[in-house]
A and B are shown apart, each in its own frame.
Chain A
Amino acid sequence: MADEKDIVICRCEDVTLSKIRELIEKGYTTPDEIKRITRAGMGPCQGRTCRDLIIREIARITGKKIEEIPMTTFRPPIRPIKLGVLAESEDDE
């Protein structure tokens, strides 16, 4: 049986379930904190896969309700844009 520590939660940034559990046990109990430390949710999909799983894990370990856990901040852009594309945009007013 494959080890639980190998379960990949954030596929974009290769963050495992055991890494996330370790951080929650240390007291990092918001998805934003976990994002800053591990980069989970900062890859091409911007958290569409891992965000719900991380919040559920925080809720399970801390005993909090999902709605009591502060949501991550959603900043534009929601998908990666090359810097050159922004620089060349005709809309630079």
Chain B
Amino acid sequence: MKETDILVVGGGPAGLCAAIEAARAGARVLIIDDGLRLGGQLIKQTHKFFGSKDEYAGTRGFKIADVLLSELERYGDRVEAITNTTVTGYYTDDGVFGALTGEERYFKVKPKRAIIATGAYEKTIPVPNCDLPGVYGAGAVQTLMNVYGVKPGEKALMVGAGNIGLIISYQLAQAGVQVQAVVEAMPKIGGYLVHASKIRRIGIPIYTSHTIKEIHGKEHVEGATIVQIDERWEPISGTEKYIEADLICLAVGLSPLIELLWQAGCKMRYVPELGGYVPVRNREMRTSHPDFYVAGDAAAIEEASTAMIEGRIAGLCAAASLGYRPPDYEERLEGFWAQLERLRRGPVTEKIRQGLPKAMKEE
């Protein structure tokens, strides 16, 4: 059985930053990640980030992963990372985690604290034939293209015009896939204007107030029928359009991936603005279970930029709770919160601002 001060579950933007802060403070850290290499979703993000210099604005996602990994290397003597490994459970009776490397090796971990930075999973929608080969989560398609170099299809239909749907539509076009259309159920585009403009400029139509009614195909996706919807989300008959496609990408939202926090008995709240059930936490990103911290999409569906700062808060505070309290603790914590507030200021993050107070612990 492995023992450590802090177990960080997930080596994406939140987890890497949590590990950096905790190790900087002096704690021993073990990162476990199910990917083949660290970086989480950053490693497939070829677009440039927004925000300010503090959040690596203007840098492409996969480059940010490199920056974080080299920052982590400074504390190499205190940090261990295990990849290709899933943390499979938490056992409340003895405070032990189980972990599975590949499908062959099972081992246990007993940390003093855990930071859950497991990210999110992609939501889906029930449509006839949604189980046909060729129907993917948009994030999965991005992984296929940008990590494994696989062209996922020839003609694509994107469902969802949030940032993920828009960015991946553009990247599909870059990979030589004909993007037939983007459909969005809301009356307006959810993602940033820059991303929407880019795909409009290359001639991809965006149908707002539209949904996918049915997917067609026998052995594989061959096309889909889309339909306009009214303000009560009812299909308007006569507005159906057939779109030929061998690839349907669903970018219809993400949900926090928090099985481990449920297992630990952490108090949860249903906050739709944040993606569904989320753990209740305080300003230290500590959950109702004193040994469990949370950061990133596992805490609320936001952006990689906020995930990185939440990770730093969780790492700093988890280390401090074990006695590794750096002399600049207070100003660092306040600085991170000021950064978060700055990032959450714009009109695009209004939902997040409404949702977050519901997830904070009343103290």
Contacts and interface: CB of A to CB of B under 8 A. Distances in A.
Nearest to B90: A76
A9 B131 CA distance: 9
Interface string A1-25: 1111011110100000100000000
B100 A81 contact: yes
Contact of B88 (A53, A81, A90): A81
A79 B99 CA distance: 10
B88 A77 contact: yes
A85 B88 contact: no
Contact of B131 (A11, A79, A85): A11
A2 B129 contact: yes
Contacts of B106: 81, 85-86, 88-89, 91
B84 to A, nearest CB: 13
Given A8-B130, A53-B126, A46 B277 contact: no
B151 interface: no
**Interface residues on chain B, size class:** 35 or more
B98 interface: yes
A85 B105 contact: yes
A71 B277 contact: yes
Interface of B: 1, 86, 88-91, 98, 100, 103-108, 121, 123-124, 126-131, 214, 255, 257, 259-260, 262-263, 268-270, 272, 276-277
A93 B1 contact: yes
- The listed residue with most B CB atoms (<10 A of its CB), out of A17, A74, A93, is A74
Given A53-B126, A71-B262, A85-B100, A76 B270 contact: no
A3 B98 contact: no
Nearest to A56: B126
